Amino acid sequence: MDDYRRLGIMAALDVIGAIQPKRRVHSVGYCLGGTLLAIATAAMARNGDRRLKTMTLLAAQTDFSEAGELMLFITDEQVSFLEAMMWDRGVLDTQQMAGAFQLLRSNDLIWSRIVRDYMLGKRRPPNDLMAWNADQTRMPYRMHSEYLRSLLLNNELATGRYYVDEKPIAINDIRIPIFSVASVTDHVAPWKSVYRINLLANSQEVTFLLTTGGHNAGIVSEPGHRGRSFKIATRRGGREYVDPETWQEQTPSVRGSWWPTWQNWLAEHSGNPTELPGLGAAEAGYPPLDDAPGTYVFQR
């Protein structure tokens, strides 16, 4: 987990600082990437590192005490079994990862699909989201083991027992504005679990947004997407905590995509727009590696 923090988030911030010095960064993390971002942000707050301007978490949990149906698979015995399986190959295989998430939504992702495709012969044409889902995740052994034990089993991040550089960190130390997005039917990061950022954060501003859809479709909710709606409210310093059920009942619903609302929020927390003559990446020693979208898509 710490390799991903140091070689991912912190290294990226170092490069941004080299290319565009003295600029603060709007950060965003999705799912486990959001949890990693929260860890990095808390560690930066503890160390007085002010390079981040805001933090946006998409379907990302910081408190795993209500992690939902995924906990059916997470016991000491199951984690030990997974560690034994991963030991040989060094990773959790993509098929095993996909199978676990399909079981969480077995009615939607297994049984209804089998009935529709096999018994009724009504195979759906592929769409963009199906292609994205087919690009499955492979989890490194050590990172996955640390994630399961430290976060899911022991909930160390929410309880001040998660260590970075041999010192405990706390979400409570984060002071920058937070924008947290959750999805109503998310089985991976249940929205009430994501909502607990309101209990942990001590920021002067925590904006929580609940959108229709699931773990993927709720986040990939572009303007013009039919049937989308969301609820949003901001909790500022000093305001009393509202439980998730009351929050859901009292917060009005807004039709449409949440993307423009997030864009406006980012604009409100930014300086005046400026014209940049160029990012200056090559001049800072970071020339382009390849033309977009890069060689990743070719599996090289």
260: tokens are 């423009």
CATH number for 24: 3.40.50
Mean pLDDT of 32-56: 97
Residues 117 and 135 in one domain: yes
Instruction: Note whether residue 194 is domain-resident.
Output: yes
Residues 228 and 167 in one domain: yes
- The answer to whether residues 58 and 181 touch, using CB atoms and an 8 Å cutoff, is yes
Give the pLDDT band (50/70/90) at residue 104. very low
Statement: residue 30 has pLDDT above 90: yes
Domain that holds residue 135: 75-139
Instruction: Among 114, 139, 164, give the residue marking a domain's end.
Output: 139
Question: So what's the pLDDT on residue 288?
Answer: 81
Catalytic residue from among 31, 57, 91, 158: 31
Instruction: Note whether residue 220 is domain-resident.
Output: yes
Statement: residue 91 has pLDDT above 50: yes
Residues 222 and 102 in one domain: no
Instruction: Note whether residue 278 is domain-resident.
Output: no
Instruction: Note whether residue 288 is domain-resident.
Output: no
- Cα gap 140→137, rounded to integer Å: 10
Higher per-residue confidence, 212 vs 116? 212
- The answer to whether residues 216 and 108 touch, using CB atoms and an 8 Å cutoff, is no
Question: So what's the pLDDT on residue 98?
Answer: 53
Instruction: Note whether residue 147 is domain-resident.
Output: no
Q: Is 217 a catalytic residue?
A: no
Residues 217 and 159 in one domain: yes
- The answer to whether residues 40 and 9 touch, using CB atoms and an 8 Å cutoff, is yes
Question: So what's the pLDDT on residue 60?
Answer: 96
Residues 161 and 260 in one domain: yes
Question: So what's the pLDDT on residue 262?
Answer: 98
pLDDT tens digit string along 46-66? 999 999 999 999 999 999 988
Residues 160 and 252 in one domain: yes
Give the pLDDT band (50/70/90) at residue 121. confident
Mean pLDDT for the chain overall: 85
Torsion on CA atoms 160, 166, 167, 172, rounded to nearest 10: -50
Question: So what's the pLDDT on residue 4?
Answer: 95
High-pLDDT (> 90) share of the chain, %: 52
Residues 61 and 173 in one domain: yes
Question: So what's the pLDDT on residue 212?
Answer: 96
Question: So what's the pLDDT on residue 103?
Answer: 44
Mean pLDDT of 59-88: 77
Residues 99 and 160 in one domain: no
Higher per-residue confidence, 91 vs 59? 59
Residues 249 and 189 in one domain: yes
Residues 165 and 215 in one domain: yes
Instruction: Note whether residue 277 is domain-resident.
Output: no
Which range (14-18, 78-82, 111-115) has the least confidence? 111-115
Rounded to two decimals, what is the model's pTM? Answer: 0.85
Instruction: Note whether residue 175 is domain-resident.
Output: yes
Statement: residue 116 has pLDDT above 70: no
Residues 175 and 242 in one domain: yes
pLDDT tens digit string along 232-282? 999 987 688 899 999 999 999 999 999 999 999 999 999 888 776 666 788
Statement: residue 133 has pLDDT above 50: yes
Give the pLDDT band (50/70/90) at residue 286. confident
Instruction: Note whether residue 105 is domain-resident.
Output: yes
Number of domains in the chain: 2
Residues 56 and 176 in one domain: yes
Give the pLDDT band (50/70/90) at residue 145. confident
pLDDT tens digit string along 155-170? 999 999 999 999 999 9
